[in-house]
Amino acid sequence: MSCTDSYNKQSDSKQFEQRFTAYKALFVIDGRIVDTGNDEVSHSEGQGYGMLFAAHANDRVAFDSIWQWTQTVLQRPDGLFSWRYTPCATKDTACVDDPNNASDGDVLIAWALLRAAKRWNTPSYEDEARRIIQAIEEKLIVTRDGYTLLLPGESGFDNGNGVSLSSNEDGVQFNLSYWVFPALSAFSDYSEYPSIWQELFASGISLVQKARFSSHQLPSDWTRLYKGSFSTNNVIASEFGFNAVRIPLHLAWSDTFLASAERNDVLSPFAKWWSQDYVPATLSLGDEKPAEYAMTLGMRAVEQAVNNIVNDTAPDWPDINRDVDYYSASLVLLSMLAVSDISG
């Protein structure tokens, strides 16, 4: 490693730690990550992000505080996590108003525990991660129409196994941004059934290639698979938006994907979308109506991260302050973390 490389890594680490300090001050209350853009709720996704960031910042006090709150308030007997906590007077499990899980949160929390176990040589974190990984395998990974899918939650998204959908629609509804590709690769090393995770990874790449919509050929926040066909019929959100913007970041974060033959084909639609003079925050994929406001600060950070990893362009990371909401701040730190991981 050259002196310049060493300086850059130290500088990047310091920038991350500074932004995580601001993140804690703005969004962390006694281990609870507060979604300031969504009625001050907390959810498993946010807890997972907080744990990831704390581990990377080498902040064990913050990590343990966030993990203990998550474990005490959100974790279910099966090892997965209730997805939403809405503040109430008791400030405990009584505030959990939807016990269904969200698989992105489950994945993020397990991955954060694995990273923390390695950083601080704490086997108990790894044990907890293995328990979550096993629960995901048992309850959330299914095969439908030749694809290995990660269900967004245990209930309400799949009628292939006899579960009734509230929407009365056939097929499986999934969210491709829940495929956190580097985490899936990590899980294969800690599972008794590594092929499950390898198949889920490969299926995710195939889905990004095939489940494209509009003339821009972009993925939807939510997609339905029925009898081998993809649509955005009666899904939660049929736009390229705040969920799907994470897809290119998760892809570029993966060494396995970056070395694949599909890399350019898969990333090309995102690069073209970002190359516009004005990039709207979201795009309705049915009528191609764009949002009336531009990409958020966090979305721009995702673009910077992908461009840095793929094209080696220098990022200019935004600050995290009171003008930045929870999700944008999380995307900034997530983007910085991805670049740090890939750069080694």
Q: Indicate if the pLDDT at residue 168 is higher than 50.
A: no
Task: Among 109, 139, 169, give the residue marking a domain's end.
Answer: 139
Q: Indicate if the pLDDT at residue 234 is higher than 60.
A: yes
Task: Among 139, 170, 199, give the residue marking a domain's end.
Answer: 139
Asked whether residue 58 falls in the same domain as residue 113, the answer is yes
Q: What is the DSSP letter of 70?
A: I
Task: Among 90, 108, 139, give the residue marking a domain's end.
Answer: 139
Asked whether residue 182 falls in the same domain as residue 205, the answer is yes
Show the domain range for 208: 140-252
Q: Indicate if the pLDDT at residue 7 is higher than 50.
A: no
**Out of 94-103, 167-176, 306-315, which region has the weakest mean confidence (pLDDT)?**
167-176
Mean pLDDT of 301-318: 97
In a domain, 40, yes or no: yes
In a domain, 236, yes or no: yes
Q: Indicate if the pLDDT at residue 161 is higher than 60.
A: no
**Out of 5-19, 182-196, 218-232, 273-287, which region has the weakest mean confidence (pLDDT)?**
5-19
pLDDT recorded at residue 162: 41
User: Which pTM does this prediction carry?
Assistant: 0.95
Q: Indicate if the pLDDT at residue 221 is higher than 80.
A: yes
pLDDT recorded at residue 170: 82
In a domain, 6, yes or no: no
Task: Give which of 70, 177, 181 is closest to 132, Cα–Cα.
Answer: 70
Asked whether residue 120 falls in the same domain as residue 153, the answer is no
135-138 long-range contacts (CB < 8 A, ≥24 apart) are 135/78, 135/79, 135/80, 135/106, 136/80, 136/103, 136/106, 136/107, 136/110, 136/187, 137/191, 137/193, 137/196
In a domain, 283, yes or no: no
Q: What percent of the chain has pLDDT over 90?
A: 92
Asked whether residue 88 falls in the same domain as residue 172, the answer is no
Asked whether residue 123 falls in the same domain as residue 153, the answer is no
- Contact between residue 324 and residue 3 where contact means Cβ atoms under 8 Å apart: no
Catalytic residues: 104
User: What's the rounded Cα separation, in Å, for the pair 220 and 112?
Assistant: 26
Asked whether residue 229 falls in the same domain as residue 195, the answer is yes
Q: What is the mean pLDDT of the chain?
A: 94
Q: Pick the residue with more confidence: 11 or 168?
A: 11
pLDDT recorded at residue 12: 85
**Token pair listed for 240:** 């390229």
In a domain, 132, yes or no: yes
Asked whether residue 153 falls in the same domain as residue 79, the answer is no
**Token pair listed for 319:** 């600050």
Asked whether residue 194 falls in the same domain as residue 227, the answer is yes
pLDDT recorded at residue 127: 98
In a domain, 105, yes or no: yes
Mean pLDDT of 219-225: 98
Asked whether residue 165 falls in the same domain as residue 214, the answer is yes
Mean pLDDT of 227-253: 97
In a domain, 301, yes or no: no
Give tens-digit pLDDT for 285-299. Answer: 999 999 999 999 999
Q: Indicate if the pLDDT at residue 3 is higher than 80.
A: no
Asked whether residue 110 falls in the same domain as residue 159, the answer is no
Mean pLDDT of 172-193: 98
Mean pLDDT of 91-105: 97
pLDDT bin (cut points 50, 70, 90) of residue 160 is: low
Asked whether residue 99 falls in the same domain as residue 120, the answer is yes
Give tens-digit pLDDT for 29-84. Answer: 999 999 999 999 999 999 999 999 999 999 999 999 999 999 999 999 999 999 99
Asked whether residue 195 falls in the same domain as residue 163, the answer is yes
- Tally of domains in the chain: 2
Q: Indicate if the pLDDT at residue 239 is higher than 90.
A: yes
User: What's the rounded Cα separation, in Å, for the pair 156 and 166?
Assistant: 7
In a domain, 263, yes or no: no
